Structure 1
Amino acid sequence: MTLLLLAGTGLAQEIARRLDGRNIDVIVSLAGGTRTPDVAGGLPCRVGGFGGDAGFRAFLASQAITAVLDATHPFAARISARSARICAEAGIAYCLAQRPPWQARPGDRWHLIDREEEAAHHIAPGSTVFLATGRPTLDRFANLRSCHLICRQIEPPDREFPFENGRFLVGTPPFSVAQEQDLFAALGVDWLVVKNAGGRASATKLTAARELGLRVAMINRPALPDAPVVHDAEAALDWVAGQ
C-alpha cells in the first residue's frame, strides 16, 4: 500500500513516528501553515497545498495512493471534507484521525460558540481577551474593537496586528499550567478564546483559566465528514494495518 498522511498536528507527528521504519510506503503532507514545519521521523514529506480538487486528484493518481489518513487540525474542515469526498469518488480508503474534543469540567466557565464573531455576544467592552486561535481567523474578531486583544502565536508575526486595540505575543509551546496562570495574571486577562482542538498538551491553558476563574469562549468543532474516525495513534495504526 501507499499511504498519504495529511499532517499538521501533534497526533500526526505521533503517527508519523510510529509509522517510520515499518514496511509501508508513506508520504507525509503539510499544508505549510508554519514556516518551520516539524514532522517527526524520517518519512518523505511534501509541503504546500495540492491546488484544489483537480490537483488533489492528480496527486493521488500520480503517487498511486491507496489510503489516506487525515490527521489535520479539527478546524481544517474544508480540507477534510474535500479529502473524504475525493477519496470516496476514487475508491481510496480514507480515515479521519482527531483527538477527542475537550469537555467542560466542574469550575469551568465556558460559553460555547460556533463562530469567532459570536465571542462579542458574550464579552463585555473593556475586557482583556487572550486569543489562542492563531493568525488565520484573527480578522473575524473585528467586532471586539472595544476590548484589548492579545493573540499568541508560535512564530514572530509577518504583519501588523489588524486592529489598533491588539498585539501579538510570541510563545513556544509546551506551556505548563503554572506558566499559563502566571501569564494570564500578568496580562490581566478576563477572557480566553480558544478552538476546541482537544489534546492533553494544549489543555493547560484551560486548566489555568479554570483555576483563575476566567471565562472561556469555546469555539465548537465543525461537522465531521461521513467517514471512519479514530481518536488516537493506536487506533490510527490499527486502521492502517487493516488496509
Structure 2
Amino acid sequence: MTGPRTVLVLGGTTEGRAAAAELAARGGVRVISSLAGAVRSPRLPDGEVRIGGFGGPGGLARFLHAERVSAVLDATHPFAATMTANAAAACTATGTPLVVLRRPGWTPVPGDRWHRVGSVAAAAAAVLPALPALPPGERGRVLLTTGRGGLAEFAGVDAEFWIRAVDPPDGPLPERHTLLLDRGPFTLDAERALLDRVRPHVLVTKDSGGDATAAKLVAARERGIGVVVVDRPGVPPGVPVADTVAAALARLPC
C-alpha cells in the first residue's frame, strides 16, 4: 500500500481525542475520527472528523474498504456496546485489525455504599429499595448521572430527580425532575457543592471509569450517600483490549 496508513478512531471520549492527537502527529499516518453525533457541539479531535453513524456493520465495512483503513481503534464510551459490536463484525469481515481502548472501571473502597446492577432498567428498579428510611410524606431525592439514554426507564419511579446531562434529553422523563445541564470533568469541590445543594438520598451512575466524573463517588462516600452503579457491558470475545492510550497505540499496526 502506498501513501499514508489510515487509522479510524471511533471516538467521542477523552482517550479518543488523545489517541487521535498522537496519531495525527506521526508521520505517514492519516487519522479519521468518527463521532456518533449524540452530543451537540462536541469537542473535536485532531485530524479528519466525520459525524454520524455508518449504518450498521455493513456500512462500516464499506467505509473501511472505501477509505483503505489500515486499522481501527475503538475509543468509544464504555457503554457504546452497539458500536463496539458493529466494529468487531466489520473488522472481522474486512480483515482489518481492531483494538478496543477501555479506561479501567471504578472499584469501590471502604466507606462506599454501592449497589451494582446490570442495566439502566435494573437501576431504575433499584432506586426505591436503595432509599433510606424517610419521614412520612418525604419523597426520595435522586441524583441521576447516567446520561441522556434510557431516562424513560425512570419515568414511573416515584421520587424527585435531578438529572445531569450534557444536552437536554428527549423522550419521557420522571414527573418530578430538574435538569442540570453540564459537561465534565467535574472537580471534587464542585461535586461536593452539588450534593450539598441537591441533598440526594441516592446517586445513580454508570461505571464509566476514568477521572473526569469520578469525583461524585468520593463526594457521595464522604456524605454516606448510597450509589446505584450500572455495570458496563462486555467487549466481544477475541477483540484485543487496552486500558491506556499508550497501550492501545502500541498494538496498532502503524
TM-score (normalised: structure 2): 0.89
Aligned to 1:203: 214
| Consecutive unaligned residues in structure 2, runs of 5 or more | none
1:160 is displaced (CA, Å) by 7.5
Aligned residues: 239
Distance in structure 2 (CA, Å) of the matches to 1:161 and 1:185: 27
Which residue, out of 112, 119, 122, partners 1:108?
112
1:203-236, Cα deviation, whole Å (9 max, x unpaired): 1111111111110000001121120000011112
2:124 is the alignment partner of 1:123? no
2:39 is the alignment partner of 1:28? no
> Is 1:113–1:217's contact at 8 Å kept on the other side of the alignment?
yes
Aligned to 1:185: 196
Distance in structure 1 (CA, Å) of the matches to 2:112 and 2:246: 30
Which residue, out of 160, 165, 177, partners 1:148?
160
2:55 is the alignment partner of 1:51? yes
Partner amino acid for 1:128?
R
> Is 1:29–1:47's contact at 8 Å kept on the other side of the alignment?
yes
SS at match of 1:66: strand
Aligned to 1:139: 152
SS at match of 2:200: coil
Aligned to 2:73: 69
Distance in structure 2 (CA, Å) of the matches to 1:139 and 1:161: 5
Distance 1:71 1:39, change over 3 A: same
Distance in structure 2 (CA, Å) of the matches to 1:54 and 1:171: 35
1:179 is displaced (CA, Å) by 1.1
Distance in structure 2 (CA, Å) of the matches to 1:158 and 1:90: 36
1:130-156, Cα deviation, whole Å (9 max, x unpaired): 111111111122342x1111111123x
1:179-203, Cα deviation, whole Å (9 max, x unpaired): 1111111111111111101001211
1:47 is displaced (CA, Å) by 0.4
RMSD, aligned α-carbons = 1.6
TM-score (normalised: structure 1): 0.93
